Each structure stands twice: as C-alpha cells, then as structure tokens.
Chains A and B, each alone.
Chain A
Amino acid sequence: MWLFMAPSVAVMALVLLYPFGSALYYSFTNHYLGGPTLRFIGLDNYTALLGEQRFWADMLTTMIIVIASVALQFVIGLAVALMLYALSGGVRIISLLNFLPHVVTPVVAGIFLKWMFVGRWGLLDATLIGLGIFPPDWLGDPVWAKFSVIMADTWKFMPFLMLVLYAGLQSFDTSLLEAAEIDGATAWQRLIHVILPMMKPLIAFVLAIRMMDAFRFFDLVYVLTNGGPGTATETITLYTYQLAFRMLEIGRASALGVITLIVVAGMIVVMILLMQRGGREAI
C-alpha cells in the first residue's frame, strides 16, 4: 500500500516540506535578496517584529477583520440555512444562486465589490445620495474601510457557511425536532436547545476552516484597499507580502509567516477547547 503513496509523498517532500523547511531556516537569518551573504542571526527577526508598532497594529486589524467577518457570515449563513431548511420547494436553485459569490475568482469579487463601495460612482453612494443621505467614505476612511473589508469577506464566504450548515441540518434525525415541537418548544427554543447542540461538531469544523482562511486573507483586500488608507486595513498577510516581495526582506518576512502560523494554530486550539468545554456543560 505504501507504494501507492510513495510518488505523492516524494513530490510533497520536494514542493511542500523542503520549501517550508527553508522558510523556517530563513526566519533565523538576515536573508535579503541582492544583499550580502546570508548570516544566522538567531531570534533577531522575531524580537525586532515583536517590538514593532506596525506588527501589533496589523495583528489587531487582522483579528478585528477575522472575528467580525467570521461571526457575521456565520449568523447570516445559519439564518439562510435555517430558512432553506424550512422551505419546501425551490431550495436547490436558491442555494446555487446564493453560492455564486463563493466561486467567483477572489480578485474578480474584489473588483465587483469595489464598484459597490467606490466614491460617488459606486452603487452604494449613488443609492444613498438618491435617498438624500450623505454617504461615508467607504474605502478612504480608516474605520469605514475596515467595515467595507469585513462586508466584502462576508459576501464572499457566507455562501460556504450557508451550504455546509444546510447540509448539516439535512442530515438530522427529524424525530428529535418533532418531539420538541410536540412538547411545546418555540422555534427559538428548538434552535438553541436542539439544533445548535446537535450541530456542534460541524459548527466547530467550519468555523475552524473559516478562521484559518480568513487569517490569510489576501486577494480581496489587496484589490479593494491594498491595506489603505495608510495601514488601516493592512492585514498580517499584506504586511508579509510587502516585506518579502517589495522590500525583499526574506528573513524578516519568513519570521512573520512563522508567527502567523503559531497564532493561527493557537486560535484553533483555543476554539476547539472552548467547544469541548461547552459540550461537557451541555451534558
């Protein structure tokens, strides 16, 4: 059986493990493209980053965007999934149509959304002005730009949650729900006490996937704001991109990548622990 796996494992060692290994190695060096020869500098890259204000600001921005957008898309996705679940006909066509934003090439999605948010010509501004409301500067104001980026991520990824949660609902044993209904539970009580606890493993799984992906969020924000105004929407990934491919600071950028990996891993572990504790309390 191992013979079946050998080719794939060999290729992955070459194109995955070796590059990751070298990135880890670079993170301990002063590697700079076109600069003097590579020298081992221990943890200097890490301590320099942790002492930087830009690093902490970007980390905070990333956290805000990740938590707000994942929470928002989860709530909307769950609401739509529940509505689809209660609907008796036309579910397939509605869910397929709503799924489209998710498969659209991220860069293209960024362009579509730019035409919503862009000043004066954008559809949002045009509509608001038409209603006599003075619109905010969606992409140019530090606070509103964050809001726009969160909305963009929500638009792109809500369909993913909608579809997976709907599949989860469908795999239910309906007798439990019927029993709850006979016992006089309201729709809200059924959601809180029956549906959500039953879906807990699935919810933990999709939220973990979404948080990981949201943390490496790049394409959409690159097109929409490219981190601006200033660094108001600069995520950790955008900063790493700047370091590596604009300033060619390979060593420093690798260290930032490794820190991102550690933070994401930590986040996922905390989430799984929280979910498990919640699970035990429910029993």
Chain B
Amino acid sequence: MKRKARMQAILLTALILFTFVNLVPILWGFLISIKQPADAFAIPPRLIFEPTADFHIDVWVNRGFLSFLLNSGIIAAATVLISVPLGTLAAYGLARTRTKHAGKLLFGLLTIRMFPQILLAIPFFVMARWLGMIDTYPMMVMAMVAMNQPFTIWLMRSFFVDVPVELDEAAMIDGCNRWQAFTRIILPAVRPGLGVTALFSMLLAYNEFLFALILTGQHTKTLPVAIAEFGGEDINYWSISAAGAIGIMLPAVIFTLLVQRHLIRGLTFGAVKG
C-alpha cells in the first residue's frame, strides 16, 4: 500500500512539472504583455516587476483590434448560423438512412477533409477576384462553410446515432410526420450536441488563418491576420503584440472549458466518444 502511495506521489509530481513546462510559452507571453519592455527582455529574466495593463488597453483601443474582433465575430457567427442548421439536417438524414449510398456519402465527406486546404483556397481566390468580392464578409463565410460542413455533419451524426430510432418511430405512430418527429422529439433530444457542434464550428472559423489571409482585407480583417501582420516599427511592439496574443487566446480557453466533456468526440469527427 505504501509503495502505491509513493508511486502516485511521483506520478503527480512528474505530471505537474510536465504541465508547467508545457505551459511556459503561454505564461511567458502573458508576462511579456504585463511588463514594460525593459523588464520583459532583461537577462536573466526578471520575475519581480511592476505589472501594467497599458499594452492590453493599447492593442484593443488604439491599434484597432476591437474592430478586428468584430470582424472575427461576424464571420464566425455567420458561419455557425449557416453551417450548423444545414449540417444538422443532413446529419439526421444520414443517421436514419441505412443504404449503401449514405455510407458512400459519409466516406466521401471524410475524404474531402483529407484534401489540402490550399487546393480549395486557390479557386476561392480566383472566384473572389473574378466576382470582385475580395475583402467582403460573404466570400469569407462561404469559404468557412465549405471547410466546416463535412465536420459538422459527422459530429452531429454521432449525436443523432446516440438517440434510439424507436423514439422516431413512437412519435410517428402517435401521428407525427417525419418532419414533426424531427423538430419536436429528436432535435430537443440532441440539444447539447447542437451546442457542442456550434462551438466547435465557431472555433474553426475563429482560428482560421490561410483563408483569412487571402480573402480578407482592410474592412474584414480577422484577429489572426491582424496579429500576424502586426508591425515592428514600435519600441513597445513586443509587449503590445503579446497583449494581443493573450487576448486572442481567451475565447479558446473559454471554449475548452465549455466543451470539456465533448472534446474527444469533437476532435475525432465524432468517431471516438470520450
């Protein structure tokens, strides 16, 4: 028994140490964002200093990051509003069909996810230039829906599969048609799944960089592009950039806390139910 307790203590210590080392890049970024540049890059690293929130305020207010946040928010919200309803309908159809074609369609969707993103980015760029739609929200949202749709369908399908078919059948015996059974009985039963799918698809759109880099411009620039482009002419550049990076990271942290019980399912296309 004693040996077991000692094993546990060693394991716990090792894991805590590992976690700390693993989080050092984030902690370090946070420290830079609340230090004056002179403190931030002193060698050896200075651990005692006077913290400041100046750079956090500066990046959002004076450097226009608030408007980039708005752009990111509009694009992510529009993507979810289009992608999730469409994907949910299709996922229900697929979860309740047992034909060969349905299996083929599902496999096809998985194959599409394997495609290099850049192969999709090229025609979108050509199309956007041709239509004069570079730097517009609809173009970027269209690209995000394209990227999201296979994922949304797979994830939602895994939640529908968890609901027994007998529930549909019972509703239909009680006089519902297929559509009523879906909206009144099945959809409420998968409500948590809907939330999880919406959050995952929002994060995908929020984090997207390649498409944002080529399809957005002055009016629609998203946070990842803004922080990547943030220039170095300023003496406080590092600190402001760190403040921006920490701020952009926050929604991702909140997201993790919200979906913690469903992380594995979301990460694996619904294939592994954690």
Listed in ascending order, the chain A residues whose CB lies under 8 Å from chain B are 1-5, 7-9, 11-12, 15-16, 18-20, 22-23, 26, 31, 33, 80, 83-84, 86-90, 92, 94, 96-101, 103-113, 115-116, 120-121, 123, 126-127, 129-130, 155, 158, 160, 163-164, 167-168, 170, 202, 205-206, 209, 212, 215-216, 218-219, 222-223, 237, 240-241, 244-245, 250, 253-254, 257-258, 260-261, 264-265, 268
Q: Which residues of B contact A22 (CB under 8 A)?
A: 123, 126-127
User: Which residue of chain B has the shortest Cβ distance to A158 in the bound complex?
Assistant: B22
**Chain A residues touching B, majority SS:** helix
A58 to B145, CA, bound (A): 30
Q: Which residues of A contact B69 (CB under 8 A)?
A: none
A257 to B114, CA, bound (A): 12
Whether the Cβ atoms of A90 and B114 lie closer than 8 Å is: no
Whether the Cβ atoms of B22 and A237 lie closer than 8 Å is: no
For the complex of A and B, the 10 pairs showing the least CB-CB separation, nearest first, are A4-B93, A257-B119, A8-B90, A19-B123, A15-B146, A167-B274, A112-B25, A5-B93, A107-B224, A103-B252
Chain B's interface size range is 35 or more
Contact with A along B91-126 (1 / 0, CB 8 A): 011101100000001000000111111111111111
Contact with A along B15-51 (1 / 0, CB 8 A): 1101100111110110010000000010111000000
Closest Cβ–Cβ distance, residue B252 to chain A (whole Å): 4
Interface centre among A31, A155, A215, A240 (most CB of B within 10 A): A240
Q: Which residues of A contact B137 (CB under 8 A)?
A: none
B203 located at the interface, meaning its Cβ lies under 8 Å from any Cβ of chain A in the complex: yes
Whether the Cβ atoms of A20 and B119 lie closer than 8 Å is: yes
Closest Cβ–Cβ distance, residue A6 to chain B (whole Å): 8
Interface centre among A20, A103, A110, A168 (most CB of B within 10 A): A103
Whether the Cβ atoms of B249 and A108 lie closer than 8 Å is: yes
Q: Which residues of A contact B12 (CB under 8 A)?
A: 87, 89-90
B170 located at the interface, meaning its Cβ lies under 8 Å from any Cβ of chain A in the complex: no
Q: Which residues of chain B (213-255) have a CB below 8 Å from chain A? A: 213-214, 223-225, 227-228, 238, 241-242, 245, 248-249, 252-253, 255
Whether the Cβ atoms of B253 and A20 lie closer than 8 Å is: no
Whether the Cβ atoms of B25 and A11 lie closer than 8 Å is: no
Q: Which residues of A contact B125 (CB under 8 A)?
A: 244-245
